[in-house]
Structure 1
Amino acid sequence: MGVKIKESAISDTEFERMQQFVYDYLAASVEGDEDGGRMRWYPWHSAEYRFNHIQNVIEIATTIADREGAAIDVVRVSALFHDISKLEANQEVHAEEGARVTREYLQTCDNLPQSFIDEVCQSVAEHSYQGPLSDTSLETQSLIEADILDKIGANGTVLILLRMGYESRTHTDAAEMVDRVLERGRNAKERVVSDTAESIAYQRLKRVKWFREWLESEVPAMSMGANVEFTPDPTKADAHTTHGDIDSDISVATGTDTDSTDTNEDTDTNPDTNNTNPVDTHISDG
């Protein structure tokens, strides 16, 4: 006798309507602010960016919920609504405010059990919880883990490099910035508790370590831990400086080299030199 598959309580059409509501709400939050939104100084924290983050969290959280046995519909809907108030409320209260907006919307939907609405709103309200994830329900845990994991890996690296450009940093600062992603990834790996989330964290952290190594191999100033500054001599009228003159006009500021290798972690092989990397049995590179 086969296992009976439980039909989803949320149809695809209904979920699409929810997605449209969340996107419209985020867009209105920015448009309604005379200053251009709470996070206006970081353009990628627009309604478009926030909605993209939400989509990423839905994907990761659904994967975790499916493999760990959580209620998928609760996780999927709470992931969709978890940051709905991010652009209009202060960071400290955006989760609680988001739960309020979520409840108001879900109560307008037909045929949703009150218990389902309560579970979704609880996960939204608790998604910023900083305590042990074992204290939360499996559904809330799946959401929090997904929210953490979206900020690391290749995606986290791209976002912090975008921040570099906005702050007018040069590419020689990239090692320092990528190290921040590595640190965040290591912290994420320590905090998540499910096997699926740990597997995703391991894979994403490995990608950032590879990128850091590639960057150092191509930008010597990073591996030397030095910034080379040219200080032209204003007394020289001849613009055609000889090699000897250049040597006398360079000052080198040496900083502390940041080692991206954590001796407590498994050693990962760079894919440029070896194609026998350990393969994550849970998450593919697709």
Structure 2
Amino acid sequence: MRLDQATWERLRERARKLYEANGTSHRLDHVERVLRLAERLAREEGADPEVVRVAALLHDIGRGEEARTRGRICHAEYGAELARRILEEEGLPRDFIERVVRAIRRHRFRRGEPPETLEEKVLFDADKLDSLGAVGIGRAFLFAGEVGARLHNPEVDLEKTEPYSAEDTAWREFKLKLSKIKDRLLTRSGRRLAEERHRFMEEFFERLNREVRGEC
């Protein structure tokens, strides 16, 4: 199926209002980048473009509730059911809604069900790719600023540091989390993009470490 432009614009406006409650690293600009990546991966991998497009638009609408409950509510699970209600109100076909809902519910994969269909894998990869490369570095520093972390901490044992603390730096985010993403992606196109973005991040943090040491 293909959404008409009026329906798409209504969905986008409803999503925009929900994203206003999110932190700056997960607002509509993040969603728009994920949407562009998801559309690209869908073309390259042969996934249903409309399922991917709607799922990408709505994939993080539960973030505000997760933040409000300090993580007690999973944004993927909550957002999937919220998306279901929104899409039902728009009168979209039941099968289409279920495919979108499953993709949203499985895009996190930190717990619960892993992505299974091609559309679910495309959304998963697109979301993770936005954590890598130049954008990933920017988002990591943005998040560090949100939680009041210092600029850089290569001298500490990162395994002993706490999240949401002064030591929750972009360097910590890269070493403990982002450096592992490239090996978790599920599509051939996603893995190819992840390799290049990962190399850029390694080069950036190597340069940052040298600058902090006064070597360049």
TM-score, length basis structure 1: 0.60
Aligned letter for 1:56?
R
Q: Distance in 2 between matches of 1:165 and 1:114?
A: 42
Q: Distance in 1 between matches of 2:187 and 2:129?
A: 12
> Aligned residue pairs: how many?
198
1:220 maps to 2:213? yes
Q: Over aligned residues, Cα RMSD in angstroms?
A: 2.9
Which of 97, 117, 124 is matched with 2:78 structurally?
A: 97
Do residues 162 (structure 1) and 142 (structure 2) align?
Answer: yes
Larger radius of gyration: 1
Greater share of helix: 2
Question: How much has 1:70 moved relative to structure 2?
Answer: 0.9
Matched, 1:54 2:45: no
Query: Which 5+ residue runs of structure 1 have no aligned equivalent?
Result: 1-7, 31-38, 224-286
Deviation at residue 135 of structure 1 after TM alignment: 5.6
CA distance in 1, matches of 2:122, 2:149: 37
Q: Deviations over 1:192-243 (max 9, x none)?
A: 121111011111111112212332343325x7xxxxxxxxxxxxxxxxxxxx
TM-score with structure 2 setting the length: 0.78
Q: Which structure 2 residues correspond to residues 89-128 of structure 1 after superposition, within 5 A? A: 89=66, 90=69, 91=71, 92-110=73-91, 112-128=92-108
- Report the identity percentage: 28
- Cα-to-partner distance string for 1:135-187 (whole Å, 9 max, x where unaligned): 61111111111122212221221222234445252x45379733632553431
**8 Å contact from structure 1 (residues 61, 142) kept in 2:** yes
Q: 8 Å contact 2:132–2:198 — kept in the other structure? A: yes
Counterpart AA for 1:154: A
8 Å CA contact 1:153, 1:204 repeated in 2:
yes
Unaligned runs of 5+ in 2: 156-168
Post-superposition shift, 1:23?
Answer: 1.0
Higher relative contact order (CA 8 A, sep 6+): 2
Q: Which residue of 2 aligns with 1:76?
A: 53
The CA deviation at 1:119 is: 0.8
Partner AA of 1:98 in structure 2: G
Match of 2:8 among 5, 11, 15: 15
Q: Compute the displacement of 1:113 (Å).
A: 2.2
Residue 29 of structure 2 aligns to a residue in which SS?
A: helix
